[in-house]
């Protein structure tokens, strides 16, 4: 079984994934507070991206497909004008 990953490598990968999860969760929580200027929010997103790529080099495309849309949804939510409501549609 020469191709089987060793348990130390698997554990390290899990540690990096856990760290990334915490970084993204904290970024989402800070963004959701809605007390940031657009420039500050952009800095949070840029910092999150930099940390993700430091943990997983060369995985820009995964960040763009998985994490960036999550952050974009939050930015969209906090950028709504005060009093704006989201309309929910009932399924027929």
Counting Cα atoms < 13 Å in the Cβ hemisphere of 27 gives: 27
Q: Is the pLDDT of residue 91 over 60?
A: no
Vertex 76: Cα angle to 70 and 78 (nearest 5): 105
- Cβ density class 54-65: b for 16+ within 10 Å, e for less: eeeeeeeeebee
Q: Is the pLDDT of residue 2 over 90?
A: no
Q: How far apart are CA 33 and CA 89, in angstroms?
A: 26
57-83 residue pLDDT tens: 999 999 999 999 999 999 988 877 666
CB 53 within 8 A of CB 67: no
45 vs 5, more confident:
45
**Mean pLDDT value across residues 79-88:** 64
Q: Is the pLDDT of residue 84 over 70?
A: no
**Mean pLDDT value across residues 4-10:** 86
Q: Which two tokens stand for residue 17?
A: 């994934």
């Amino acid at each position: 079984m020469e191709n089987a990953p060793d348990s130390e490598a698997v554990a390290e990968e899990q540690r990096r994934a856990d760290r990334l999860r915490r970084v993204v969760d904290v970024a989402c929580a800070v963004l959701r507070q809605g007390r940031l200027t657009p420039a500050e929010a952009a800095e949070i997103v840029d910092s999150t991206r930099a940390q993700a790529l430091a943990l997983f080099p060369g995985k820009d495309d995964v960040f763009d497909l998985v994490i960036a849309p999550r952050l974009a949804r939050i930015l969209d939510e906090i950028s709504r004008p005060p009093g704006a409501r989201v309309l929910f549609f009932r399924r027929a």
